[in-house]
Amino acid sequence: MTGTSIAPAVPWGDALGQEAAVDALRQAASDPSKLTHGWLITGPPGSGRSTLATAFAAALIAEGEHDVATMKQVLAGTHPDLTILKTEGTVIAIKAARELAARSYYAPSLGRYRVIIVEDADRMPERTSNVLLKALEEPPERTVWVLCAPSEADLLPTIRSRVRTLRLRELETGDVARLLVERTGADPAIAEQSARHAQRHIGMAQRLVTNDAARERRDETMRDVLRLRGVGGVVDVASRIVQVANDDAKALTAERDEAEQAAFMRSVGLADGAKLPPVVRSQLTALKKEQEQRAKRSVRDGLDRVLTDLQSLYRDIVMLQLGRETDIINSEYLDEMRRISEAKSATHTLTVLEHLSETRDALGHNVQPALALESLL
């Protein structure tokens, strides 16, 4: 009788183009002599940092790559030995870091290791980082920390010195396009365009390829800016960009907010429309406050995506001014970009790119969006 082999459940294949990092993590998960208790996975947005961190957690917690049930539980984020810290705000709160540090000292309950993943570790202010420092300095034998950030420079030197860094490589547009076709069954031409416009950010590319409205909003914004002539249209264009970001945020958060509130009501045993006891009312108010913070961040993230798109536009214009037409991101607007490249100098375009970076930074510090965009435009 021939046995049927069970395919490993760890989705290492989802870490597109990161073979070297996958190899290092697989070896560490299977050989304790190669395992350190603090890891930092760095790479550009969309490179698969979180995907790889979760796959690593599955390999660490499970009893080998054929422990399918455990791996599926880890990948679903429901295993008791996995803790993932995400932030819906602009920074990771010190309270959340303290709770995480305390949890790191618990022994694993079911798996081989307790794994703590900190997504967006670059959002930790110095005080928050210092809370985690002691836990990283003296980790329990069976606890593994995995931090994710765009680069090592985004973390304090004291944190960097206590972790092993894995740098993920930037993906090629063709690789991302092929992945989109495999995952979504999208038209290859739209997949290529989405991968290009997202600048190889897998999550953003997947949203573009599956959401006609998102592609249309991007196109309208780019054409608005390309058509802008003088000060007269600035206020209208800035207003439309802010409105697009707000609409995008509502589309992303409204359904989730409603589901969370309904789940909360069920968890406390109350039907929709029932009178809320004072204790429950305060808990629901706290939930709504968290949702408001998430919506605010979602708007900021939407504006940042618009500015990132505009950076790609003016990056293309610089390329044209320097006589290069290869690797153009926004080839759909080639005629308009050529017109601007001929009317302005490369120095002017580089100044525009500098102001785009400054505006992104300003929005991260809670500058009023409409004023920041009017000033930029």
Which residues form the domain of 190?
172-210
- 159 with 19, same domain? yes
Query: Sorting pLDDT into bands at 50, 70 and 90, what band is 1?
Result: very low
As given in the structure block, the two tokens for residue 146 are: 């995995």
Same domain assignment for residues 301 and 258: yes
CATH number at residue 69: 3.40.50.300
Q: Which residues contact 335 (CB under 8 A, 6 or more apart)?
A: none
Q: For residue 88, what pLDDT band results from cuts at 50, 70 and 90?
A: low
In a domain, 76, yes or no: yes
Instruction: Give pTM, 2 decimals.
Output: 0.68
User: Is there a contact between 334 and 341 (Cβ–Cβ < 8 Å)?
Assistant: no
Co-location of 284 and 312 in the same domain: yes
Element (H, E) at 146: strand 143-149
194-251 pLDDT, tens digit per residue, is 999 998 888 889 889 998 988 998 999 999 888 887 777 788 888 888 887 777 777 7
Residues 129 and 271 in one domain: no
Q: What secondary structure does DSSP assign to 62-113, as a single string?
A: SSSTT-HHHHHHHHTT--TTEEEE--SSSS--HHHHHHHHHHTTSPPSSSS-
Residue 5 lies in a domain: no
85 and 96 Cβ atoms separated by less than 8 Å: yes
Q: What is the 3-state secondary structure (H, E, C) of 272-337?
A: CCCCCCHHHHHHHHHHHHHHHHHHHHHHHHHHHHHHHHHHHHHHHHHHHHCCCCCCCCCHHHHHHH
221 in a domain, yes or no?
A: no
pLDDT tens, position by position, 129-151: 888 888 888 888 899 999 999 88
Q: What is the structure's pLDDT at 303?
A: 85
Tell whether 275 and 143 lie within a shared domain. no
pLDDT tens digits, 294-352: 777 777 888 888 899 999 999 999 999 999 888 899 999 999 999 999 999 999 999 99
pLDDT of 144 reads 95
Q: Is 373 helix (H, G, I), strand (E, B) or coil?
A: helix
**Mean pLDDT of the region 239-265:** 76
